[in-house]
Amino acid sequence: MSQDVVPLDRVPQGRVGSIVSLQGGPWANARLAALGFTPGALVRVVRNSMRGPIIASVLETSIALGRGQARCILVRFGGD
């Protein structure tokens, strides 16, 4: 089983992964961390229609993210 690291905006709906790192600027990273998107946290993609916002669940809370924000979050999940 391989390990894939991709931006959150490219993770298919329903997948669960572990956050590897945040790749935004200092303000964006601080904002994402305050929402619970921190390295090591598990994140589940609730909705990703490949257009519009992404809904992700972290720390048992669903959060809507713009695609630019989601692109800053790198996630690792096992390949199929």
Residue 2 has pLDDT above 50, yes or no: no
CB-facing half-sphere around the CA of 53: CA atoms within 13 A: 7
CB-facing half-sphere around the CA of 57: CA atoms within 13 A: 10
Confirm if 23 and 48 have CB atoms less than 8 A apart. no
Question: What CATH number should be reported for the domain whose range is 3-78?
Answer: 2.30.30.90
Let me know if 49 is exposed, middle or buried by CB neighbors in 10 A (0-12, 13-18, 19+).
Answer: exposed
pLDDT 10s digits, 3-46: 689 999 999 999 999 999 999 999 999 999 999 999 999 999 99
Break the chain into its structural domains and give their ranges.
3-78
Instruction: Give the DSSP letter of residue 33.
Output: H
Partner residues linked to 25 by β-bridges: none
